[in-house]
Amino acid sequence: MTAGKPLRADARRNRDAVLAKARETFDDGTFFELRFDDFARLAGVGTGTLYRHFPTREALAEAVYREEVATLCARARRLQAELPAAEALASFLRDMVGYIDAHQGLARTLSTLMATGTGTLAEGSRELEQAVTDLVTAAVAEGTIRSDVTAGAVMMALHGIGAAHDRPDWRAEADGVITLLLAGLRRSP
């Protein structure tokens, strides 16, 4: 696929169908159990179409990851445009817990793929951190959170929450950690 060249409508539909099926297999834990060619069959496209868009399993996983990161960053920008800064940050952090909860299979798949040393994961992390930086910076400028807060610290808290996803009662604990984090971010009167 040529970078920068827009896809025809049918090619875009085929690519999106393969990505949707890959996302489903992340969530149900079968991404690595399937033969790579099975993604074409499941998406209702030919194997040539699959390989044209995604020459390897890793390329498919990376494409899903890139789309997920883009969606999360767009969500952060939307919240920032629609809400006061502190509310936007709080909403984004709570949404991230929901996202992690809903996409545990994606997290497991990505951790397996990290061993390949791909730069896509690092690039996605930088993009997410920039989205969080923008939210934190706006809340600091608004005067609602402490000025010594960094996006890196907030990202570290999110990574810790995600890393503990296999704990019993994880969701309630994760929501509680976000509540603690938000309380710690508040600027003292």
DSSP string for 77-103:
HHHHHHS-HHHHHHHHHHHHHHHHHHT
Task: Tell me the pLDDT tens digit for each residue of 20-51.
Answer: 999 888 878 888 888 999 999 999 999 999 99
pLDDT at 18 over 60: yes
151, 132 contact by CB (below 8 A): yes
More confident residue, 108 or 155: 155
Three-state secondary-structure class, residue 6 = coil
- Any idea what the CATH number is for the domain that residue 148 is in? 1.10.357.10
pLDDT value, residue 189 = 72
Q: How much of the chain, in percent, has pLDDT values that exceed 70?
A: 90
Amino acid, res. 68: E
pLDDT value, residue 142 = 95
pLDDT at 73 over 70: yes
Task: Tell me the pLDDT tens digit for each residue of 117-159.
Answer: 566 677 878 898 999 999 999 999 999 999 998 999 999 998 8
Report d(CA 182, CA 31) in Å as an integer: 35
User: What range does the domain containing 49 cover?
Assistant: 1-55
The mean pLDDT value of the chain amounts to: 87
pLDDT value, residue 157 = 92
| Residue 13 sits in the same domain as residue 48 | yes
Task: Tell me the pLDDT tens digit for each residue of 43-57.
Answer: 999 999 999 999 988
| Residue 51 sits in the same domain as residue 62 | no
pLDDT value, residue 2 = 41
| Residue 65 sits in the same domain as residue 137 | yes
Backbone φ and ψ for 145, nearest 5 degrees, come out as -125, 160
The β-bridge partners of 145 are 186
pLDDT value, residue 123 = 81
| Residue 150 sits in the same domain as residue 78 | yes
| Residue 23 sits in the same domain as residue 77 | no
Residue 27 tokens read as 């969530």
Q: Side-chain half-sphere of 30: how many Cα atoms within 13 Å? A: 11
The widest CA-to-CA distance across the chain, in whole angstroms, is 62
pTM for the whole structure: 0.83
Residue ranges in 45-169 assigned as alpha helix (H)? 47-53, 57-82, 85-102, 104-113, 119-142, 151-163
| Residue 126 sits in the same domain as residue 63 | yes
Number of domains present in the structure of the chain: 2
| Residue 21 sits in the same domain as residue 106 | no
pLDDT value, residue 31 = 83
| Residue 44 sits in the same domain as residue 74 | no
